[in-house]
Chain A
Amino acid sequence: MDSSERQREYVLRTVEERGVRMIWLWFTDVLGQLKTFAISPVELEGAFEDGMRFDGSSIDGYSRIQESDVLAKPDPNSFEILPWADGVGTSARVFCDIVHLDGSPFEGDPRQVLRRNLDRAREKGFSFYAAPEMEFFYFADGDPSHPPKPLDGASYFDLTTADVATDLRQRTIHTLESMGIPVEYSHHEDAPSQHEIDLRYTDALTMADSVMTFRLVVKAVAHEAGVHATFMPKPLSGVQGSGMHTHFSLFEGDTNAFYDPGDEHGLSKVAKGFIAGLLAHSRELTAVTNQWVNSYKRLVVGYEAPIYVSWARNNRSVIVNVPPIKRGESESARLEFRAPDPACNPYLAFSVILAAGLKGVEDNYKLPKEVSDNLYQLTAEEHMAEGIDSLPGSLSDALDVMERSELMAEALGEHVFEWFIRNKRAEWTDYKTQVTQFELDRYLGRL
């Protein structure tokens, strides 16, 4: 038996031994929504062998002109028993790769897009690691007809709320750990009812799967307690939004390719090239890492959101932050990319970040000067004088830059690239035609 047969055998045996009644096949649409359908245990062996056929035309980003049927092929190493009961008894989930009927990778599947980018990195001898810090809010409900009500702060739930939220976070962490998603750190964030859970690094594909699981677990645990959890980037005006600052590193076998003991700050040539690439292409990839109209309400001056295309050590106003390397821990050399928000599609976000960084490594991009000031305090003219750019100010601006980027088209593949821009343009058009509360408040009486 080769290793993949043994993995299948292991999963089939576990299904039998644990009395699993239902297996959820998980995959992701281009916008990063988790999609699923269930199969029974008897269908699982066939699903491993031949895949499960389904009509992709109703999945965002999967539609094609000719054949709309695709196959979901379960990845046996991602098989996990789900820790919550769902009425029919024990159930399990398994992530799927989506393939054409002839077995070739389906270009609309974000997981395949990331696989392709990771393969490119591997050809150069690199494996790519990611560790995101996930921020999110708990609200009393998810009803959009009134402003969101935080669980703590303000006047809601006055006495007990801090406990409710802390308890929710603890239960969430427990569920995550039992599903093999180790948590590094967690705490209450600055904004009312905002929380952060930091995930322990893994390879980027596993991490993208983990982010999908994470969002579901956070929402499910909250739902069970009768509250609403959201990864909306900026749900409340006037306070910080939710980011997904993510730490990245490249490894060559056992060696951290970002580390060079001979460099003043411990940064290798690869690290410098990667940072330079990420900075040079950051405006092109923003539409992917910050993909909603609302994402750009977070990317504004103040509120600790990064908007300036520059890098520094221990500086929150820049998009690439390089944490200090602990003495004797060369493995910890990494960079922190602060732009993404937690409502991104992690497969596509990691893909474009890796592609931009690798481009910088391959083409020996020159690393711009590190900034030393708090950039929030400089005026626009001073930024211009320093030659410091900002991230796009709106989804529309971000799409304009992305559309002209060959690197993005290559990293995402033509299919996803075109569909994404078309879909996002439509979202922007819908938004633009709305008359907002802001306008009514400000103009209705006055004008």
Chain B
Amino acid sequence: MEPLLIYPDPVPPELAQALDLAGYPWKAIGDERSAVRAEPDDGWAGGVIVAAIEPDGAFALCRALRKRDLPLEPMLLLVSGAQLADLELREDLFDDFCLYPFQPLELEARLKHLFWRTGRGTRPELVEYGPLVLNLETYQAAIEGHPLDLTYMEYELLKFLASHPGRVFTRETLLSRVWGYEYYGGARTVDVHIRRLRAKLGEEHANLIQTVRSVGYRFGQSRWGV
């Protein structure tokens, strides 16, 4: 699993300890610039932002991370009781919040739930969605328990999509995030690989990857059920 982004730097010791005990890798980040500089190749796994200590910096960082092409998620916000009113009109900046000082067990449960919702499951090395399981450590994919034989690019594309279920991605975003910039095939490459993935998923499961007309592709159901 890629590390979680944690704000502020230095991280309050009790938070560091709770994350370590729960088994989440993490990195402390002081501002937007270092968030970009220290970002792992596959992106941050998510963010835990303590707003109770430096509220201005915390909300500014949340906003910056959510404004990106591929907004950072899931984002857990730690706020003091007195700050609850400040959450109003900032709903788009976080996926869940937790009162600070926090209960380690509550923090862990909330993180677990957030990751489950974003398809990462309860085991960080697995991406699960319905009948599909991707093992990020062994690079293996299976559908209903049967192994799927994928080429590297097919695997990378499926991994990216399945890690962000319900989200619509344009071909350009998929091209830059999955293939990287050195690739010359053009955005049509994405269509070709989607069609190959659907062929390998088989008729029954081909609709796991939905075409969103004149926009791009979405894995799984839309978040709004449409």
Contact = CB atoms under 8 A, between A and B. Distances in A.
Contact of A182 (B180, B184, B195, B202): B195
Given A77-B151, A78-B151, A129-B188, A13 B139 contact: yes
Interface stretch (A152-160, A198-206, A268-276, A370-378): A198-206
Contacts of B184: 122, 127
B186 A253 contact: yes
Contact of B199 (A13, A76, A177, A252): A177
Interface in A227-280: 251-254
Contacts of B188: 127, 129, 203, 251, 254, 331
B152 interface: yes
A182 B199 contact: yes
Identify which of B139, B140, B171 gathers the most chain A CB atoms within 10 Å of its CB.
B139
A203 B185 CA distance: 7
A80 B149 contact: yes
Nearest to B150: A180
Contacts of A18: 140, 147, 149
A224 interface: no
Contact of B155 (A10, A122, A202): A10
Given A3-B180, A14-B140, A180 B154 contact: yes
Interface residues of B, number: 28
A206 B154 CA distance: 14
B189 A203 contact: yes
Interface string B35-62: 0000000000000000000000000000
Interface in B105-140: 138-140
Contacts of B205: none
B158 to A, nearest CB: 12
A80 B139 contact: no
Contacts of A253: 186-187
B144 to A, nearest CB: 15
B192 A202 contact: yes
B186 A251 contact: yes
Contacts of B187: 253-254
A14 B139 contact: yes
A180 B151 contact: yes
B182 interface: yes
A63 interface: no
B151 to A, nearest CB: 6
Interface string A369-408: 0000000000000000000000000000000000000000
B200 interface: yes
Determine the main DSSP class of A at the interface with B.
mixed
Nearest to A178: B200
Question: How extensive is the interface on chain A, given as a class?
Answer: 35 or more
Interface string A83-123: 10000000000000000000000000000000000000010
B106 to A, nearest CB: 37
A180 B196 contact: yes
Interface in A280-307: none
Contacts of A254: 171-172, 186-188
A181 B199 contact: yes
A115 to B, nearest CB: 12
Contact of B200 (A10, A180, A200, A331): A180
A131 B192 CA distance: 11
B70 interface: no
B22 interface: no
B200 A177 contact: yes
Given A127-B185, A203-B185, A254-B186, A182 B196 contact: yes
Nearest to B138: A17
Contacts of B153: 77
Q: Which 10 A-B pairs have the closest CB atoms?
A: A177-B199, A81-B149, A180-B196, A10-B152, A7-B152, A254-B187, A182-B199, A182-B195, A202-B192, A127-B186
12 contacts: A3-B182, A13-B139, A18-B140, A18-B149, A79-B151, A80-B151, A127-B185, A127-B188, A178-B149, A180-B196, A251-B186, A254-B172
